[in-house]
Structure 1
Amino acid sequence: MFLKDFEIRWSDLDANRHMANSAYINFMSHTRMAYLNQLGFNQKSMAEHNIGPVVFHEHVYYFKEAFPGKPVKVSLEFVGMSEDGMFFEFLHNFYDANGKNFARCEMMGAWIDLKERRLTGLPKVFLDAFHTMEKSSDFKILTKADTRKFTQTPKDLEQV
């Protein structure tokens, strides 16, 4: 499991003076990119291959408020990927200074070809890098069907 340390800043607070939802999203994104950077995914290498990550969903579960003044840790666990690397799924947990888990997030995304503007599998160099990542105990091979678990059909929308 990869861990990244953060300090909750004034700008990370909302009107209730606890950590804002947007700060959770930013901390997770920064954690993912810090880890991927270690694997060779950075602005330069992604630009060379004309790819970028896109987020399908981030489902956050909040257990307890987080306030400024104490450090927090954000974990990253690799829980799924499609065989071609197009789709990926990570799990993030947030821990306070005492190691208590105060939030959790399930995140799924994919890679987009920035020229064609469509989803794409990973080039071999990046796919090989992903294969070196430590996988969670419940890691699974993702399919396109896994990416559709939160979509609504028109009939569902009629009921809203």
Structure 2
Amino acid sequence: MRAVIQRVSKASCRVNSNITGEIKAGLLVLLGIEDSDDLNDISWLAKKITHLRIFNDEQGLMNKSLIDIDGNILLISQFTLLAATKKGNRPSFIRAAKPEPAIPIYEAMIAELEKSLNRKIATGIFGADMKIELINDGPVTIMMDTNNKDNY
């Protein structure tokens, strides 16, 4: 599972001109799911996302987590995060899970994040053509990969 986590002052997702998810201060999380991802990956990544100390404290230092600031999450499925670009110029998405196994993992991640925050999170629509708007705060952007936990 690969995630791009962006600290935002606001973000929204539109599908066919309808807002499916919208947040104020918090995190926009783009999530790519692989066939090998399981409940351990979901648990590890959800904990990392909600406890990352990337929000400013009173001294302007990044010492507060999403939980500390009572922030929000907008979670967007994005298979293109798993693009392989080593060979040629056309990306291969062979590592990305097909919808049938990926949707339950995505839904489990939503549930785990909601459990961690004790409230609903905002989402896009899995597999839809989504238009994402955001104001990146900082900017602060962090990438994580559950296949490489030792580096995070």
**Same fold, TM-score > 0.5, yes or no:** no
Higher alpha-carbon Rg: 1
* Greater relative contact order structure (CA < 8 Å, 6+ sep): 2
Question: Which interval holds the TM-score relative to the shorter structure?
Answer: under 0.3
Q: TM-score, normalised by structure 1?
A: 0.26
Q: TM-score, normalised by structure 2?
A: 0.27
